[in-house]
Structure 1
Amino acid sequence: MEYRYGKKHNVLLAILTTTSLFVSADSLAQGQATAATIKANNEVIRSLPFNDTEDFKDATRGLIDKPESLIIKDAKGNVVWDMDSYTKFIGMDKPAPATVNPSLWRNAQLNVQYGLFKVTDNIFQVRGYDISNITFVKGKTGWIVFDPGTASETAKAAYDLVTKNLGKRPIKAVIYSHSHVDHYAGVKGIVDEADVKSGKVKIIAPEGFLEHAVSEMVIAGNAMSRRAIFMYGALLPRSATGGVNAGLGQTNPVGNVTLIAPTDTIKKTGETMTVDGVKMEFQMTPGTEAPAEMNTWFPEWNALWMAENTTNTMHNVLTLRGAQVRDPLVWSKYLNETIDMYGKDVQVKFQSHHWPMWGNEKVVDYFKKQRDVYKYTHDQSVNLLNKGYTSKEISEMIHLPDELDKFWPNRGYYGTLRHNSRAVYQRYMGWYDANPSSLNDLPPADAAKKYVEYMGGASAVMSKAKADYDKGEYRWVAEALKQVVFADPNNTAAKNLLADAYEQLGFQAEAGTWRSVYLEGAYELRNGTPISGGVSSSSPDTISAMTPDMLFDYLAVRLNGPKAAGKKMYFNIEFPDLKENYGLSLENAVLNYGKEVESPTATLVLDKSTLDDIQNGKLTLAQAAQNGSLKISGDANAFQEFLGMLDTFPFLFNIVTP
C-alpha cells in the first residue's frame, strides 16, 4: 500500500509530541524501560531533527509492488526471511516505544519499507527481501544484477518479484560490488553455474574479490559467525523489547550461502565495460568498507552505484563481529575522488543498503558529509592519541560537530563514533595502551576473582551494584558485575542483575548493532549459551572456491599445536584437475606448504573437489580411497593421523560467561 507523505509527517510530529514516552519513574520489571532509560530516550527526541521527513519520501519513492506478507522459505519449508515479524510491531503510525531509542526506531521504520522500487530509468531495486538490496539494471535483452544478496532463497524471491512486475527477462550478468557475504551469496538463486561456465552469463567483480571473500569467511570465520549472532541479534525475538533491526537493514537471512567465481575482473578506476547495451564505468575503492570494492557510474542515466562506500548510516571502521580494521582516511579520500569524478553530473545515488537519494545538490552534499564523518573520526582520534590519550579515553572525548552529527545519514545505526574511534587507535597503536599494567595483565576470569576479593566479596558488589542500577548507572553496573559473573558463573543473582543492566543499555542504544549485542548478552545470561542457531560462514561453495594455498592456510589454522608437537610428517599432494602439485611439511608443530618434498611420508593423488568433499564432511578418507577418487602411496595411516590433529571449532562458545 502506498504511503501518503502528509500522514507520515503527522506521525513524526506525533513522535515529537507524544507523552507515551514520559512514564512513571518508578522501578519497572524486566523487559520494561526504567526511568533513566526513558529520560535518555526522551533526550534523543529533543536533540535530533525529527521534523525532517525527506528520508521517508525517498524510502517510498518509486514503489511498484510489495506483497502484503513477506516470508521467504527454503525448499524444506524452513523460514529464511521473515519481514512480517518486524512489520507486525514497527508501524509508520506508531511512536517509538520506551524500550527503543527513538532514532533507531526511525531507522527501523525506514528499513521496513520493502518491495520493488524504480530508482531511475532502467534501474530497479528490490529492498527489504534481505539485509542488502538486490538491484536490477535493464539491458537490451536481459538484466544486469548488482549484489544478489545473502542467500539463494532471498535472491530468487527478489527475481520472482521483478519478473512478475517487469516481465520475464534472462540475467546477462551479475556484478559483485565487494567481498562481503551479503553481496554475493545469493547468486545461485538467480543464475545457473552451467550458464556461467558456458559464457552465457558474466560474473563481474573487483580485483581481489575471491581471495578476500573466501579468506574472511574461513580463516577466522567461526569466531566471526559466533560474534555475528550478538551483532545482529539473530536469536532475539522480534519485538519492541528484542530485535528491532541491525541498522543496515533488519537482520541476516538464514538461507543457502552460495558462490560462483568471477569470470571478469575490474582492475583500475576509469575502466569501462558495456554489457547487454549498458555502459558502465568503475571506480576502484580497495581498503574502504571492504578490502575489494568498487563503485559503478552509469553515464547514460547520470546514476551512481555506491556499493557500500556510502549508506544512510555511519559505517564500521571495525565491525563488531570482527574483521581487519578498515582505514577511514583512505575511505574519505576515495569519497573525495567520487565527488571529483562524478559530482558535477550525478543526479541519483543508490547503494547496496537503504534507499536512494535524488538531486545533484543534495547528493553532493551527502557525499561530502559522508566523506567528512570518516575523515573527522580519523583525524580527531589521531589528534587525541598523539596527546597521549588511550582508546577508551578517546571514545569518551570525541564528538562530531553539529553539521555532521545531526545529519541523519551520519547517525550511528551500524558503526558508532565510540567504537570507530577505538578502531582508529587500534589501527595505529595496537591493543597495548602503553600502561605497564596492561602489558601482562591477568586473563578475565583470574582477574575477576581478584577484583571481587578486593571489592569485599560478591555480596558487597551486588549491594552496591543494585544501588547504582537504581541510579541508572548501567555502564558501571555492567563493568562491576561482569567481574562477579566471571569470578563465579553460577551466581544467578549477579547474572540476572547484569542482564538487567545490559537490557537497559540495549533499550538506550541508537545503533542496531549495539542494541543487539546488549540484548543478546542479556538473553544468554538469563538462559545460558544457546545450543543451536546462527549460520556458519564456511559453506560448501566457500570451501570449493578456496585455492589450494587458501585451503592449506586454513588447515594450518586448524592444526592443534600441542597434539602436533614432536611429530614430523611430509606429504606430497597432486591435483590432476588443477595440474598442480604441493608439498606439505609438518614439523615444529607447524604446517607449511610449498614445492613437493623429496622423501614424503605419503603421496596423495586426488582432485581438488574430492578434498573439498572431505573438508565438507561429505566423504571420509577411507571412502575416497575405496571409491578410487583418492590414491595414496606410502604411509596412509600417517595422513589419517595428521587429519586427527585438526581441530573442529566449537561454534557456540561462551561470551558473556567464562
Structure 2
Amino acid sequence: MPLPMQLRRKHLASLIALACLSQAVYAEPASEQTRANNAAMLEQRPFSNDADFAAVSRGLIAPFKGQVVDANGKPIWNLASYDFLKQKDSPATVNPSLWRMAQLNNHAGLFEVVPGLYQVRGLDLANMTIIEGDDGLIIIDPLTTAETARAALDLYYQNRARKPVVAVIYSHTHTDHFGGVRGVIDEADVNAGKVKVFAPSGFMEHVMSENVYAGNAMSRRAQYQFGLYLPRGDQGQVDAAIGKAVAIGGSITLIAPTDLIDKPIETRRIAGIDVEFQLTPGTEAPSEMNFYLPQFKALGIAENASQTMHNILTPRGAQVRDAKAWSQYLDASLSRYGDKTEVLFGQHNWPTWGAESVRTLLADQRDMYAFLNDRTLHLLNQGLTPMEIAQNMQKLPGELQNKWYTQGYYGSLSHNSRAVYQRYMGFYDGNPANLNPLPPVESARLSVEAMGGSEAVLAKVHAAMDKGEYRWAAQLGNQLLFAEPDNAKARTVQADVLEQLGYQSENANWRNIYLTGAMELRNGVPSQVGSSVSVDMVRALPPQMFFDFMAVRVDVDKAIGHDLNLNWHFTDPDQTFNLTLRNGVLTHREGLNPKADASLSMSKATLEQVSLKQLDFPTAMQKGLIKVEGNGKKIAELLATLDTFSPQFNIVTP
C-alpha cells in the first residue's frame, strides 16, 4: 500500500491527533436502514468458513502487547485502542464482513511462518519479515517508521537468537515497506559494506516521483483513506484492510539500496540463503518484486497478493496500475513456483499454508485482476460509461464471489472498474454534456436554485434518508454544501448521511473516507504544524527531481513577466544545471549557459538545509555557503514565485 512520504507524523500537532483518537465525535447511531443492510450481509458472505481465524494465529511465538512511543515518549502505536474488537458479534455501526476482517488483522506479535522464517505483524500497517541466515538476519520490508521497526526487531530478539542484521530487502516503493529502515540498520554499516540493501530496479526513481510531485494532495487524501484522525471504535476507524492503521508519529527514514535487482528472474545468495527474485513492474507498484526461498519452500508475494482485493487506483491517488499485467505476473508466479511452494507469505495480512491452497489463492487472484481488466473493457466497448460499468459490476464471477480473499476490503469493484476505464479511456466519458461542465461551486449554486432553494434541498435530503437512499442523499447534500458551505443545517445533515454510508461499508477505505468526511463537517479540518518533509527524502532527492518539484511549486501568475536564466553548480557532487523561467514555466537542463543572468554555487548539503527550512537563502549567502555571481536579484525573483502548499485543504466543502 502505497503511503506518501508526507504522511510522517513526527511534526504533527500530536495533541490534536490523540484527542481525536481518545473521544468519540459521532452522535448518531446506526439507522434502521443501516441495521437492515448490515444484517443482510450475514447472508451474503461465507461466514461459516472460519479457517482464517486458525491461520492468522498459526505460529504465534509472542503476542505484542502495549504501545510504541516516539523519542519524546508520545505513543505512535497503541494496539490496546482496538480492544473493542474483542466483542464477538459486530455492532450495528460496522458492516459484519468488515468487522470480521478487523478482528483478523488485530492479531499482533511475532509469528513463525516456517522454522527460520518469521514475521512481526500488527506493529504497523505492513508486516516485517525476518529470515535467519547463516551469519545474520535478512529483513524484508522494515515497516513505516524507525520506532515501529525497532520495536518489531526487539520483539524478535526477545524470543530468538540475537544475530546481526546483514541485509534488508525492499519489496517495493511504498513507504510502509521501507520507512523504518533506520530502526533496524545503521547507514554507517551500509557504507562500510557490512549490510546490503536490495531493491527492485527503478526503486529510488519511483520512491521520489510517487512521494514528491503530488505528495501534498496524496497526503491529505490518505488522511481520509486510512482514517488517520478518526477515533478507534465501532463508530470510527476499525481497520485499514491490509493492516490495522498507520502509525501516528515517528520517523520515516530511507537508506538507498546498495544492490538493484534488474533482471526478470535473478538469484542472489544472501547470508547463506538463496533468494530468487521475480520482478513485477507495473503491478501493485511501478517498481516491485516477489521472492522465492527454495530452502523454505516459501514464496514471498510482496503486495501482489493478499487476503483482500487490492486497488487498481487507490483513493489517496497514484498512477493507475495495470490490472492485466498484474494478472499475468501472478500467473507467472503460479507457473514457476506453484508446484514447489508450501507457504505463501505477503507483506500484509497473514500467510497461506499448503501447496494446494497456495495454488488456488494465486489462481483466484490472477482471475480476479484479469476479470477487472477484461470485463471493464467488454462493457466500455458496449458504450457503457464509468459509473454504468461500476454499477454493472456488482459481483465477481463464479467461485471468486465466495472467497474471503477476493472481497473488497481494500480495493473495490466500483473503484477498480473505473480505474481500468481511466487507464484505457481517460476521465472523459464521451458525453458532450460532460466535455466542459461547470465547476463544482457554480454547478451546485445553480442546482440548488433550480430545486427551489436550500430549504427545499434539505427536505429532499431528509426524504432520501428516510427511504434509506443514502447515496442519493449524499449527492443532494453535496450540492447544497458547495452552494452554501456555511449552512449549518447542510453540514449536519451531510455528516449524518456520510456516517450511515460509512457504517454500511464493507470496504475499510470507504468507511474511513465517509466517516472522516462526517468528522470534518462537524469539527473542522484538523490542524497540522511544522514540516511534513522527511530528512531522508530530501537527502535522497537528486538535483534533477528537486528542480522538477520546484517547477511544480511555481505560481505561473506570479512568474509571468519575470523571465530569467540561472546557472546552478553543485560542488559536492560536482554537477551543473541551467534553469530557465519563461512564460511562467520553469525548465532545466544539465550544463551551463554562458549568457545566464546569474550563477549559484553550493553543496548538495546546503540545498538540503534550505529545502528543510533549516536555513534560508540570505543567511546561507551571508555564511558563504551559497556563492552568487551576476544579477542576484534574479534569484530573489525566482524564489518569490514559489508556493508552499498547505497540507490541510478542504475536501468536503469548497
Q: Match for residue 81 of structure 1?
A: 77
Q: For the structure 1 residues 534 and 321, does the alpha-carbon distance in structure 2 shift closer, same or farther, using more than 3 Å as the test?
A: farther
Q: Secondary structure at the match of 1:118?
A: strand
Q: Secondary structure at the match of 1:409?
A: helix
Distance 2:637 2:66 in 1: 50
Amino acid aligned to 1:264: D
Task: State whether structure 2 residue 122 is matched by structure 1 residue 146.
Answer: no
Q: Secondary structure at the match of 2:130?
A: strand
Q: Match for residue 34 of structure 1?
A: 31
Q: Match for residue 647 of structure 2?
A: 651
Q: For the structure 1 residues 540 and 564, does the alpha-carbon distance in structure 2 shift closer, same or farther, using more than 3 Å as the test?
A: same
* Deviation by residue 1:238-280 (Cα, 9 ceiling, x = unmatched): 0100010111111111311110110000011221101111110
Q: Match for residue 70 of structure 1?
A: 66
Task: State whether structure 2 residue 579 is matched by structure 1 residue 572.
Answer: no
Q: Match for residue 327 of structure 1?
A: 322
User: Could you state the TM-score of these two structures normalised by the residue count of structure 2?
Assistant: 0.94
Contact (CA 8 Å) 1:41, 1:98: kept in 2 or not? yes
Contact (CA 8 Å) 1:234, 1:534: kept in 2 or not? no
Residue 218 of structure 1: which of 200, 212, 216 is its match? 212
Moved more, 599-608 or 337-346: 599-608
Distance 2:88 2:232 in 1: 16
Q: Secondary structure at the match of 2:265?
A: coil
Q: CA deviation at 1:437?
A: 0.9
Q: CA deviation at 1:640?
A: 2.2
Residue 504 of structure 1: which of 491, 500, 504 is its match? 500
Q: Which runs of 5+ in 1 are unaligned?
A: 1-28
Contact (CA 8 Å) 2:531, 2:612: kept in 1 or not? no
Q: CA deviation at 1:380?
A: 0.5
Distance 2:307 2:623 in 1: 54
Q: Which structure exhibits the higher relative contact order, with contacts defined as CA atoms closer than 8 Å and separated by 6 or more residues?
A: 2
Residue 355 of structure 2: which of 360, 363, 367 is its match? 360
Task: State whether structure 2 residue 46 is matched by structure 1 residue 52.
Answer: no
Distance 1:618 1:194 in 2: 24
Contact (CA 8 Å) 1:280, 1:297: kept in 2 or not? yes
Q: CA deviation at 1:565?
A: 0.5
Task: State whether structure 2 residue 583 is matched by structure 1 residue 588.
Answer: yes
Distance 1:373 1:317 in 2: 12
How many residue pairs end up in the alignment?
626
Structural mapping, 1:361-510, within 5 Å: 361-398=356-393, 399-510=395-506
Contact (CA 8 Å) 2:126, 2:347: kept in 1 or not? yes
Task: State whether structure 2 residue 654 is matched by structure 1 residue 627.
Answer: no
Q: CA deviation at 1:570?
A: 1.1
Q: Secondary structure at the match of 1:648?
A: coil
User: Could you state the TM-score of these two structures normalised by the residue count of structure 1?
Assistant: 0.94
Q: Match for residue 538 of structure 2?
A: 543
Q: CA deviation at 1:535?
A: 9.2
Q: Secondary structure at the match of 1:144?
A: strand
Amino acid aligned to 1:128: G
Q: Identity across aligned pairs (percent)?
A: 48
Contact (CA 8 Å) 1:282, 1:295: kept in 2 or not? yes
Contact (CA 8 Å) 1:226, 1:534: kept in 2 or not? no
Residue 287 of structure 2: which of 283, 287, 292 is its match? 292
* Deviation by residue 1:99-138 (Cα, 9 ceiling, x = unmatched): 0000100000000100000001211000000000011110
Contact (CA 8 Å) 1:225, 1:535: kept in 2 or not? no
Amino acid aligned to 1:120: V
Contact (CA 8 Å) 2:562, 2:637: kept in 1 or not? no
Q: Secondary structure at the match of 2:43?
A: helix
Distance 2:135 2:158 in 1: 17
Distance 1:559 1:474 in 2: 41
* Deviation by residue 1:537-591 (Cα, 9 ceiling, x = unmatched): x312112111111111000000111100011111111112122111111111111
Residue 126 of structure 1: which of 98, 106, 120 is its match? 120
Distance 2:28 2:59 in 1: 38
Task: State whether structure 2 residue 634 is matched by structure 1 residue 617.
Answer: no
Amino acid aligned to 1:376: F
* Deviation by residue 1:154-200 (Cα, 9 ceiling, x = unmatched): 00000111111102211101000000011001001111111111111
Distance 1:202 1:130 in 2: 24
Amino acid aligned to 2:456: A
Residue 274 of structure 1: which of 258, 262, 269 is its match? 269
Q: Which runs of 5+ in 2 are unaligned?
A: 1-25
Large movers: runs of 4+ above 6 Å: none
Superposed CA RMSD in Å reads: 1.2
